[in-house]
Amino acid sequence: MTLFTKFFGATAALALTAGAAAADPAIIFDLGGKFDKSFNEAAFTGATKWAEETGGTFAEFEISSDAQREQAIRRFAEEGYNPIVMAGFSWGTPLATVAEEYPDLKFSIIDMVVDAPNVQSVVFNEHEGSYLVGMLAAMASEDGTVGFIGGMDIPLIRKFACGYAQGALAVNPDATVLANMTGTTPAAWNDPVKGSELTLAQISQGADVIYAAAGGTGVGVLQTAADQGVYSIGVDSNQNYMHPGSVLTSMLKRVDTAVYDAFTAGTELEAGFNVMGLDNGGVGYALDEFNAELITADMQAAVDAASAAIAAGEISVHDYMSDETCPVLEF
């Protein structure tokens, strides 16, 4: 009986996929690949969560060359996948071209803005989330020196660093913020050894809380911080569990939520500008059983108050990418 159901179920599912392929969503990953321990992986997690919860299927593709972008979007569009989601700023130009060719399909792009009637552009207020973890860092620091380790040196990562520095200085105007980037190539997203070296260097300069916004490189930062007995801050997803007692908190950037939401909306996806900020849970800081002892009630109260104030527009956190300068940090 069970075997029979399974068999039938499988056939039915197969038939369904074949028939329903046209309405399936699709996701295209950037050059880093879907297991990049960063936003591609977060996007994959969101897609998987949707598939598990709804029992639906989705198509996916990892590009291996910049020239494949248009080709990849067009290929899914031709096969009728809807919506088609992609993460990364590099998709902006090719998506603008292809979206025009397929006005009946919906597209969603994360971390980039494409102005078209059938494209949803999802951007995150990373500077606001970073501001909050910057406050926590300054409050947890004993000597007033906090560190930031970025991945590849691009404007987006400077945006993280700038928000972080503003938060730290808001708590302690005398705080010293050290900022280093791991590298200038995509390899900087996945170089835990270099991350570890930079961590040691910052510790030797007095840093006792270090925020890693560096994809896979951050694994090395968190590990070394734990080994050296200083605090670290994770990024993108909740990384508190990795070294309980050492990871102070994590700056959450819910790329997975963005993908999940886009898949859930399906063909009804709403085009336009979608800002994921503190107010709608797109960014934030992580509090769970692994760091409950590290975040005192006072700290939590201060950060929550700041979060509310930012959401209400009472505190304005400078966005590096608005003018490509940071008032409190030199790069």
Q: Which is nearer to another protein, 110 or 230 (CB)?
A: 110
Separation of alpha carbons 132 and 278, rounded Å: 10
5, 11, 54, 93: which one contacts another protein (CB under 8 A)?
93
Q: Which is nearer to another protein, 32 or 83 (CB)?
A: 32
Q: Which is nearer to another protein, 154 or 315 (CB)?
A: 154
Separation of alpha carbons 213 and 38, rounded Å: 9
- Least gap, CB of 41 to another protein (angstroms): 14
Cβ density class 235-249: b for 16+ within 10 Å, e for less: bbbbbbebbeebbbb
Q: Does 67 bind another protein (CB under 8 A)?
A: yes
Q: Which is nearer to another protein, 65 or 204 (CB)?
A: 65
2, 64, 204, 322: which one contacts another protein (CB under 8 A)?
64
Q: Does 89 bind another protein (CB under 8 A)?
A: yes
136, 156, 259, 287: which one contacts another protein (CB under 8 A)?
156
| Token pair 């107010």 in the structure block, residue | 279
Check the CA dihedral 311-314-317-319 and report its sign. positive
21, 45, 51, 186: which one contacts another protein (CB under 8 A)?
186
How would you classify the pairing of strands 272-276 and 283-285? Answer: unpaired
Nearest to 122 by CA among 283, 305, 310, 1: 283
- Least gap, CB of 92 to another protein (angstroms): 6
Phi–psi pair at 145, nearest 5 degrees? -115, 120
- Least gap, CB of 292 to another protein (angstroms): 35
Contact 215, 239 (CB under 8 A): no
- Least gap, CB of 122 to another protein (angstroms): 12
24, 30, 111, 191: which one contacts another protein (CB under 8 A)?
111
Q: Which is nearer to another protein, 75 or 318 (CB)?
A: 75
Q: Which two tokens stand for residue 196?
A: 């570890």
Separation of alpha carbons 204 and 202, rounded Å: 5
Question: Which residues of this protein are in contact with another protein, per CB under 8 A?
Answer: 31, 33, 59-68, 70-72, 74-75, 89-90, 92-93, 111-113, 152-156, 183-186, 321, 324
